[in-house]
Amino acid sequence: METIDVVVVGGGVIGLASAAAIAAAGREVCVLERHPRPGMDTSTRNSGVIHGGLHYPAGSLKARLCVEGARDLYAFCERHRVPHARCGKLVVARDDSDVAGLETLKARGEANGAEGLAIIDAAGIRRREPHAAGIAGLVSPNTGVVEPEALVHTLARVLEESGGYLLPGTRLEGADLTAGGMLLRTERESILAGVVVNAAGLFADHVAAMLGGESFSIHPCRGEYAELAPSRAHLVNALVYPLPNASGHGLGVHLTRTTRGTVLIGPTVHHQDSRHDYESARLALGGFLEPARRLLPQLAPGDLRLGGSGIRANLNPPEVSFADFLIRRDRLNPRIIHAAGINSPGLTSCLAVGKLVSSLL
């Protein structure tokens, strides 16, 4: 049986960044990941946007860790040559009734510490995004994009270079609390851990229960994408968003020019029971056309292709509009630290979440 200071369950960006921060602080740490490679769930099934911090309630962990995390992530990407671009984002107002919404978003972003926000007029929109519709826009210059796969691989490399271990193909199957720590069972071996970090994404509630921790529920919410046909990708320069929808789930179908030059349309919001089902009953392409046309009126049905999908690990059920990240020591079992309910902006925030988790040790 192996004995180790800290075991992190989950090799997505949150588990990897947490483990890298823990290893950098001089502690022994390993990451258990059930898939054969890290990052195969939500961490590589997203828009890859480095958010600026506009959308989250002031004082929330999401607001704080997004702004801090974006700053850290840009520096990390520079240092480790992870493909990224600080391309800026445009939120468009379609008519006069939307303009107040831009002002609200700007005020919220500024309260959260987002820098350089500016309202522009229709001519300003035309200069940034000549094909986008709108009478006014909010520009967030600090928003950008990162390539999620490269980020995952780089975090895994940095973890191992700091002396941490990544154990892919290793699912946590059970646990017992003993006098010396948590005895964790996997198919291959048992590991005695002083502390367990729960970064299990869509399965964080199952892992909390397995570890004898407090009870909470993850509510899976699928987000689907279409893409612009390559011949039409030139219509979008960077990131074009509508005002967020009133439900609070998702930021509204938007246009994302990725680091690879493709343009994503989405993600949609589809609440479901399954944490595994990325494909059944997918929205037909026609369902993307109308929201995409509100941003880019010249789109025709033949301009769209079906894209991928991801599943958000929401703590809020469909009828509740917001839940903050759950990052703290478990109230029943102090040997557990949760980094759970990490939906968007989790990719942006991963390094800041990692630092916070490490500090909780």
Ligand X SMILES: Cc1cc2nc3c(=O)[nH]c(=O)nc-3n(C[C@H](O)[C@H](O)[C@H](O)COP(=O)(O)OP(=O)(O)OC[C@H]3O[C@@H](n4cnc5c(N)ncnc54)[C@H](O)[C@@H]3O)c2cc1C
* Binding site residues, ligand X, CB under 6 A: 9-15, 32-35, 39-43, 45-49, 51, 171-172, 199-203, 207, 223, 267, 310-312, 342-348
The residue (of 51 and 335) whose beta carbon lies closer to ligand X is 51
State the nearest-atom distance from the C-beta of 100 to ligand X, in Å.
26
**DSSP SS3 for 165:** strand
State the nearest-atom distance from the C-beta of 309 to ligand X, in Å.
7
State the nearest-atom distance from the C-beta of 218 to ligand X, in Å.
10
- State the Cα–Cα distance between residues 75 and 220, nearest whole angstrom: 32
The residue (of 99 and 162) whose beta carbon lies closer to ligand X is 162
The residue (of 47 and 259) whose beta carbon lies closer to ligand X is 47
State the nearest-atom distance from the C-beta of 46 to ligand X, in Å.
3
- State the Cα–Cα distance between residues 321 and 290, nearest whole angstrom: 24
The two three-digit tokens of residue 98, written as one number: 């939307």
In the chain, the N- to C-terminal Cα span, in Å, equals 23
State the nearest-atom distance from the C-beta of 44 to ligand X, in Å.
7
- Residue closest to ligand X (Cβ): 346
The residue (of 47 and 142) whose beta carbon lies closer to ligand X is 47
CA of residue 297 relative to chain centroid, distance: 29
Biggest distance spanned by C-alpha atoms of the chain: 68
Based on the number of CB atoms within 10 Å of its own CB, is 294 exposed (0-12), middle (13-18) or buried (19 or more)? middle
Q: Which residues pair with 121 in a beta bridge?
A: 136
The residue (of 223 and 291) whose beta carbon lies closer to ligand X is 223
State the nearest-atom distance from the C-beta of 301 to ligand X, in Å.
23
- State the Cα–Cα distance between residues 12 and 152, nearest whole angstrom: 7
The residue (of 51 and 64) whose beta carbon lies closer to ligand X is 51
Phi then psi for residue 358, to 5 deg, are -60, -40
**DSSP SS3 for 285:** coil
